A = this chain, B = another copy of it.
């Protein structure tokens, strides 16, 4: 049976990226060594790193004056590196979900945090509007896509202070005006590659805003001096990122991918909105194109387990909603094919006609 991988991350990757990675693990470009056995100081790896950084810059149209670095430790490590490097006195944060809350928690170790707005009172079912970013903040931090709750900031906002964005779960899903951001970061394990590598796109002039002493590995200056090579980088994970970026380029770029994502999301959101049984959990203008959350309407709540079981017989994987929301979550990242969304919609409609 065909599996439909709706995992929230680590998640589905382009098949060609997976196959080429497996080949490189056996023998990298016919050099007689595994990708896992080459030195990170070798010309073979330098070529991989250069191509990965080059494609990233090309596909996101990253302007001059920005660097890309690949690090370990996950976005969670960035939650503390950002205030360590940039929070002098006060930072502003937008609270849109659990990951934003975790970022806020780390910032509080280093200084004052101004939460400009929060949707916590509505279980994060929307992106707050009408907030004021204090002009004296050292930076403003946003989480552009909220994986758990299925909300997303769709536009690159104007910001009076340096704008920092966690784009773990929507990077490369749409064109981004990088020039509006001072720092963009995220774990790779959704649209970019496997777990084990974190990307950081950083505007060089952001450095360094604080007086405090910063441990070497936590100091962005260290990594800007030797991009991704201060210490041994996650060679393998970077390779798979390169293959994924090649795939995006082959499709025609990020705008093409965005169109595919809109088509997939519309198909599923339309099915939800036209259903007697299912209902979306997020306010319409805040809906994510990456993580689509829905539950059963009140009168059908007792059917949720049955639908979960039914969906498994149709090959659906990873559609159980996060415990904070319940119900269902379909993650429709770049590499998820339209046919998987169609199969899910078919399963929902079949279940509804049998049970509603």
Question: A residues 206-256 with Cβ under 8 Å of B?
Answer: 213, 215-218, 230-237, 240
Determine the chain B residues whose CB is within 8 A of the CB of A39 once the complex forms: 7-10, 318
Determine the chain B residues whose CB is within 8 A of the CB of A7 once the complex forms: 37-39
Which of A16-24, A137-145, A276-284, A287-295 binds B? A16-24
A36 contacts the other chain (Cβ, under 8 Å)? yes
A194 contacts the other chain (Cβ, under 8 Å)? yes
Q: Which residue of B lies closest to A216 (CB)?
A: B106
Determine the chain B residues whose CB is within 8 A of the CB of A109 once the complex forms: 213, 215
Distance in angstroms between the alpha carbons of A145 and B77 in the assembled complex:
28
Determine the chain B residues whose CB is within 8 A of the CB of A32 once the complex forms: 3
CB-based contact A37/B18 at 8 Å: yes
CB-based contact A19/B26 at 8 Å: yes
A146 contacts the other chain (Cβ, under 8 Å)? no
Contact with A73, one of B25, B71, B213 (Cβ below 8 angstroms):
B71
A105 contacts the other chain (Cβ, under 8 Å)? yes
- Residue in A21, A195, A318 whose Cβ sees the most chain B Cβ within 10 Å: A195
A56 contacts the other chain (Cβ, under 8 Å)? no
Distance in angstroms between the alpha carbons of A231 and B198 in the assembled complex:
12
Determine the chain B residues whose CB is within 8 A of the CB of A231 once the complex forms: 74-76
Question: A residues 64-106 with Cβ under 8 Å of B?
Answer: 71-77, 79-80, 84, 102, 105-106
Q: Which residue of B lies closest to A12 (CB)?
A: B37
Q: Size of chain A's interface in residues, with CB distance under 8 A?
A: 62
Q: How far is the CB of A193 from chain B (nearest CB, A)?
A: 8
A265 contacts the other chain (Cβ, under 8 Å)? no
Contact with A195, one of B9, B10, B215, B236 (Cβ below 8 angstroms):
B236
- Residue in A76, A84, A109, A194 whose Cβ sees the most chain B Cβ within 10 Å: A194
Question: A residues 109-140 with Cβ under 8 Å of B?
Answer: 109
CB-based contact A10/B73 at 8 Å: no
CB-based contact B79/A10 at 8 Å: no
Q: Which residue of B lies closest to A22 (CB)?
A: B25
Q: How far is the CB of A210 from chain B (nearest CB, A)?
A: 14
Distance in angstroms between the alpha carbons of A22 and B20 in the assembled complex:
10
Contact with A18, one of B9, B36, B105 (Cβ below 8 angstroms):
B36
Determine the chain B residues whose CB is within 8 A of the CB of A317 once the complex forms: 33
Question: A residues 174-207 with Cβ under 8 Å of B?
Answer: 187, 189, 193-198
Determine the chain B residues whose CB is within 8 A of the CB of A22 once the complex forms: 22-23, 25-26
Determine the chain B residues whose CB is within 8 A of the CB of A74 once the complex forms: 72, 217, 231-232
Distance in angstroms between the alpha carbons of A79 and B230 in the assembled complex:
14
Determine the chain B residues whose CB is within 8 A of the CB of A38 once the complex forms: 7, 10
Can you spell out 7 A-B residue pairs with CB atoms less than 8 angstroms apart?
A5-B37, A8-B39, A9-B39, A22-B23, A25-B25, A72-B196, A72-B198
Seed contacts A80-B218, A195-B232; 19 additional CB < 8 Å A-B pairs: A7-B37, A7-B38, A9-B39, A10-B36, A10-B39, A13-B34, A13-B37, A18-B34, A36-B194, A72-B234, A76-B216, A80-B217, A102-B216, A106-B216, A194-B235, A196-B196, A196-B233, A196-B235, A236-B236
